[in-house]
A and B are shown apart, each in its own frame.
Chain A
Amino acid sequence: MSYYHYEVTDFLEDNDFRAWIYDPAPEKDLYWKDFLIRYPEKSEMISNAKSILLELKKDSENQFPTDQKVEDLLFNINSVKNKKRFFSIEIFSSSTALSIASAAMLILLLGWLIKPADNDKSITYEELISSAESPLNEKTNNSSKPLSFTLPDSSTVVLQPMSCISYCEDFEKNNKREIYLSGEAFFDVTKNPDRPFFVYSNELITKVLGTSFIVKAFDCEKQVEVEVKTGKVSVFTRNDPDAKLNQSNAELGGTIITPNQKVLFSREEIRIKKSLVESPEIIASSVLPAPMLKFQDKNVSQIFANLEQTYGIDIVYDEELFGSCLLTASFTNENLYDKIDLICKGIEANFEIVDARVVISGRGCHQE
């Protein structure tokens, strides 16, 4: 190649020239020295081009992080990368907005946990029980193992370590069953529509008629969580304008959650967010269809319908796009998200969890 007519910019554009500047090697030196001997008038251009390239390099290298920083970042990455994200789902979509959002959520979550309680609107367990009208029985679990016991109405409670509950000595008075909770507990409530069962935990009220569910509400933490195992639960905040009404009637108002769903209540934002539990389980029931484990050239909509019924969840997708997708696969003991992930791979789609629903997106299948 002839370099004779080259100008500075042409040298910059030249791959071989750049390779010589950025990655000098004796054989390249030889070539360019020979070139300069033959065309000494080009030396200035070469020198200028070289100086620009080296300046670009220097400019970039000036911004390099220190080795310590490189190590620190790697450490951070490694300590987070194998943890599942918020809500324990690995969501991936081609849009990075989502991943930024979930990273932001993770940071928010950490923020809640780390920041001390400073919101004067927050209500602690102590405040709750001191405002109770009648004398209370208290059960505290200071051991390291869950403590299980039966309430006067024969509902059962499994109280986790570092947690305590209180309830009226006269438990079923006023046609209400009321529990004050600090910490985490699982409740299996005997059905009695005439006497709704209330759990007061920080700023959140959980109301049920007969069902089983878990409440996690530690005074020191920034969020309260309610997870439903069976039945239906209604959740509302203390400062909900309808709270009084919800407390007095037998209907379930507020946010209703069903099995495999949970609500997270942010104590700072005073906001209830509905989501799916970390690992949804198949709902044991004699009336529901059996989960499908193997299918051959099955319509994707049928597979989704089966998942919806067996897990009691909503799957949202475009029937027109995915209705014609056929899938052959078999499940063993994958959890719900793995199953959906497998299906999505088969139909080249992505999924995300939005407000306790699984949303499928992608280009869909078109039959040729």
Chain B
Amino acid sequence: MTPNSIHTEDKLLWQTFKRGDEDAFTTLYQRYVRVLYAYGKKLIADEETVEDMVQDLFIDLWQSRARLADVESPKFYLFRSLRRRIHKHQTGKLQNIQCWENVEEGIHPVSFPKEYEMIEAESFQKQKDDLNLWLKNLPVRQYEVLMLKFYQDFNHEEIAEILSINEQSVRNLLQRAVLKLRQLTISLLFTGLFLFF
């Protein structure tokens, strides 16, 4: 199925679900529960809390169906609802009340000694390992934006809404994440060339 047809089908499912159709509701659930759960799990370590949140999200969705508006993207709606719940949960617990703008992003610097790279970078696999390491060590906010954009396919505007921040902050986070990647891949390239000659 192409992304476009999924999109149209989602919209139809949403409309049918709003009229009280249980099958449409279950289909939406089956379609998105896994990615939502995985997303929640990335942000909250406690499995039970994530389960409760996902569960409540769908219960509330069903109970308020008559009052819901038609939406362009049910997936976006679900992600946004879940993210806001998580945000409430975290601020409610007085943890992580960090303003997005002020988050210290340099906590996990990813830099490899050049010599180390020269020696080790010969293998193709090694590069991939480095990239994965880069990904794993990204500050959680940058990782979240990266994941929402490249894996979940949301645009900047949608990500801004999901995270309740402005679009410029999304761009900044993305840029910072990608900047490190660029440095990393360029240095990998150079070592590649160096070894080649």
Interface residues of A, Cβ cutoff 8 Å to B: 7-9, 12-13, 15, 18-19, 22-23, 44-45, 47-48, 51-53, 55-57, 59-65, 69-70, 73-74, 76-77, 80-82, 85, 90, 92, 96-97, 99-100, 103, 345
B100-143 contacts to A (CB < 8 Å):
124, 127-128, 131-132, 135
A80 touches B59 (CB 8 A): yes
Kindly state whether residue B154 has any CB partner on chain A within 8 Å.
no
Kindly state whether residue B76 has any CB partner on chain A within 8 Å.
no
A96 touches B84 (CB 8 A): yes
**Alpha-carbon gap, A65 to B54, bound state (A):** 11
A76 touches B55 (CB 8 A): yes
B37 touches A65 (CB 8 A): yes
B140-192 contacts to A (CB < 8 Å):
146-147, 150-151, 153, 178, 181-182, 185, 188-189, 192
B153 touches A60 (CB 8 A): no
* Residues in B whose Cβ lies below 8 Å from that of A7: 182, 185
A64 touches B38 (CB 8 A): yes
Distance from B130 Cβ to chain A, minimum over Cβ atoms (Å): 9
**Alpha-carbon gap, A317 to B188, bound state (A):** 65
Given contacts A74-B29, A90-B63, contact A60 B3 (CB under 8 A): no
- B interface residues, tally (CB under 8 Å): 47
Distance from A366 Cβ to chain B, minimum over Cβ atoms (Å): 21
Distance from A29 Cβ to chain B, minimum over Cβ atoms (Å): 15
Q: Digit string of B56-77 for contact with A (CB within 8 Å is 1, else 0)? A: 1011101110010000000000
B185 touches A81 (CB 8 A): no
Q: Digit string of B29-53 for contact with A (CB within 8 Å is 1, else 0)? A: 1100111011101100000000110
* Residues in B whose Cβ lies below 8 Å from that of A48: 127-128, 131, 185, 188
B153 touches A73 (CB 8 A): no
A60 touches B147 (CB 8 A): yes
Distance from A28 Cβ to chain B, minimum over Cβ atoms (Å): 11
Kindly state whether residue B85 has any CB partner on chain A within 8 Å.
yes
A57 touches B151 (CB 8 A): yes
- Other-chain residue from B38, B63, B135 in contact with A55 (beta carbon distance below 8 A): B135
A56 touches B182 (CB 8 A): no
Given contacts A60-B38, A63-B42, A96-B88, contact A55 B132 (CB under 8 A): yes
Kindly state whether residue B15 has any CB partner on chain A within 8 Å.
no
Query: Can you name the residue of chain B whose Cβ is closest to the Cβ of A81?
Result: B62
* Residues in A whose Cβ lies below 8 Å from that of B135: 52, 55-56, 59
**Alpha-carbon gap, A70 to B38, bound state (A):** 12
Interface residues of B, Cβ cutoff 8 Å to A: 2-3, 26, 29-30, 33-35, 37-39, 41-42, 51-52, 54-56, 58-60, 62-64, 67, 81, 84-85, 88, 124, 127-128, 131-132, 135, 146-147, 150-151, 153, 178, 181-182, 185, 188-189, 192
Other A-B pairs, 14, CB within 8 Å; known A48-B127, A55-B135, A60-B151: A12-B150, A13-B150, A44-B189, A48-B188, A52-B135, A55-B132, A57-B151, A59-B135, A73-B33, A73-B55, A92-B63, A96-B85, A96-B88, A99-B56
Distance from B8 Cβ to chain A, minimum over Cβ atoms (Å): 16
* Residues in A whose Cβ lies below 8 Å from that of B39: 60
A85 touches B63 (CB 8 A): yes
* Residues in B whose Cβ lies below 8 Å from that of A63: 37-38, 41-42
A–B pairs, 13, beta carbons within 8 Å: A9-B178, A44-B127, A48-B128, A48-B131, A55-B135, A56-B147, A56-B150, A60-B151, A69-B37, A73-B54, A73-B58, A77-B58, A99-B60
A81 touches B58 (CB 8 A): yes
Distance from B144 Cβ to chain A, minimum over Cβ atoms (Å): 11
* Residues in B whose Cβ lies below 8 Å from that of A60: 35, 38-39, 42, 147, 151
A52 touches B131 (CB 8 A): yes
**Alpha-carbon gap, A279 to B36, bound state (A):** 36
A77 touches B178 (CB 8 A): no
* Residues in B whose Cβ lies below 8 Å from that of A57: 151
Query: Can you name the residue of chain A whose Cβ is closest to the Cβ of B146?
Result: A56
